[in-house]
A = this chain, B = another copy of it.
């Protein structure tokens, strides 16, 4: 057991997999010599050398294209997109190429690759460096998407992603990089597609993801004092989606609240709500509530950004409304 920051967990996860499998390579902008602009990949160049840990030009289409081509020819690349907003400059490679190659070729092309990225707001970077884009990928058939909320989950899900025979996007909430958590010694490997109940409750099901998970747990604490007991689920994976865990909880609680950092329209919470409004309809005792960032770009000023991203208070209100 050791306490690591989420930031340190990233390098630990990549190192664990590069150590295990010589076909794992890592590329991105400023990731090697500089150890990453978020300092998440320090030491990897020294440990694995410049053949396997590569600095690239500012050419995201080339970075993601290179990862795809390399995966087609025997490597298991991990590509970093420094900020998840930059998926937009290489979206064709991600959404039209990587996601579709296997299906279009009826299984001839396998793409065991990982794209990892710093995602989300809370750091006052403004509208073009703060987006939560996990639902962009969820909407594209052929991509698997995980969003770890703790250091140990980051390591385990990154390992599962690297070992998966399909393309997986590992979304790292940048606001969590400085957070700490216990990590067991030795190899850590997790499973894709499994949610985790992080707090047990009976009155309402609260489904959260990434940076919203600690806030949801906080909110559940406040709600307990009001006698509202919340079952808090850390979704962890958007594709595959652990529908069973969600429905199972709602069957018991009769109420659902989703907590999303992404802007409102077509967020993952909408998908979860639509599933529950269908398959879990008769278990519902009241309206489904979604707590999201309003449908706006994120502003830079702290007062404004704090007003935009779901806060513990807004989650508490959302739950109150749901169970009232």
Contact = CB atoms under 8 A, between A and B. Distances in A.
Contact of A88 (B92, B263, B265, B268): B92
Contacts of A85: 96
A88 to B, nearest CB: 4
B263 A270 contact: no
A307 interface: no
Interface in A260-274: 262-263, 265-271, 273-274
Interface stretch (A10-18, A39-47, A280-288): A280-288
Given A92-B88, A288-B274, A290-B278, A267 B139 contact: yes
A223 interface: no
Contacts of A276: 277
A95 interface: yes
* A contact residues, range: 35 or more
Contact of A266 (B127, B135, B277, B278): B135
A299 B170 CA distance: 27
A246 interface: no
A142 B297 contact: yes
B297 A263 contact: no
A136 B138 contact: no
B287 A278 contact: yes
A297 B103 contact: yes
A132 to B, nearest CB: 11
Interface of A: 85-89, 91-92, 94-96, 99-100, 103-104, 126-128, 135-136, 138-142, 239, 241, 262-263, 265-271, 273-274, 276-279, 281-282, 284, 286-290, 295-297, 299
Q: Which 7 A-B pairs have the closest CB atoms?
A: A273-B274, A88-B92, A277-B277, A281-B287, A91-B91, A270-B270, A139-B266
6 contacts: A87-B91, A91-B91, A103-B297, A135-B139, A139-B265, A270-B274
